[in-house]
Amino acid sequence: MPSLINLESQRDRLVEEIMELTESTSNEGIPDATDPEELVAKFEELEAAITDKVDAIAAVVAAQKGDIAYLKSRRDEFTRIIDRKVKALEKFENYLKAIVTNRPDAQLKGLDATIKVVKNGGVQPIWLNPDIEERNFPPDLVTIATTYKVDRQAVVKKLAESGQDSLIVDGKPIATVQPRGTHLRIG
């Protein structure tokens, strides 16, 4: 089955042939077998094939979108199930922790496993008074961090005011208006 591009190329060549036939007053250079009605019939046949191809492409895209939507709904369902199981396990582990913590030897022993409460490793957590703003902490306990963020709205406003596509400051290009992106609309 020919591709959409091939069908359109065939149609374009046929249109050129029809134009040549209608523009020429004599039949010089045109084969005797070229019948205008035959060319128009071939054109209509190609147009129908292109229409069928476009409809088939739209159907394939719609089917793929349906598959994606189904898989996303399944993913969301699995995420809910996982979240429910994680919360249930956390609740059960907290229950076990409370039981083990209240035992005299702070552990439960089985034949193959032992359950006990142990301290976490790594950096020990530190509580910082949330009532004191960070800038009001003693200076030797604070580092000052400066971040820069370009104000895109200000750049757009400056470009609009200048009426130019580029914003140049001190001989250096700072910003340039870019073409809008594109997307397919199938329907």
Task: Note whether residue 70 is domain-resident.
Answer: yes
- The full length of the chain comes to 187
Tokens of 147: 């971040």
3-state SS of 92-115 is HHHHHHHHHHCCCCCEEECCCCEE
Instruction: Judge whether residue 56 has pLDDT over 70.
Output: yes
Position 72 scores a pLDDT of: 96
Cross-strand pairs, 168:
173
**Cα Dmax for the chain:** 112
Instruction: Judge whether residue 127 has pLDDT over 80.
Output: yes
What percent of the chain has pLDDT above 90? 39
Task: Note whether residue 32 is domain-resident.
Answer: yes
Residue 159 belongs to domain spanning: 4-176
Q: What is the pTM of this model?
A: 0.53
pLDDT mean over 27-56: 76
Task: Note whether residue 166 is domain-resident.
Answer: yes
Task: Note whether residue 187 is domain-resident.
Answer: no
Residues 6+ apart with CB under 8 A from 40: 18
Closest CA to 106 of 116, 98, 96: 116
pLDDT mean over 170-178: 90
Instruction: Identify which has the larger pLDDT, 64 or 104.
Output: 64
Task: Note whether residue 183 is domain-resident.
Answer: no
Position 88 scores a pLDDT of: 97
Q: Using one digit for the tens of pLDDT, what is the confidence trace for 9-18?
A: 888 888 887 7
Task: Give the chain's domain count.
Answer: 1
Position 38 scores a pLDDT of: 82
Three-state SS at 27: coil
pLDDT mean over 66-93: 96
Position 46 scores a pLDDT of: 86
Alpha carbon distance 40, 46 (integer Å): 10
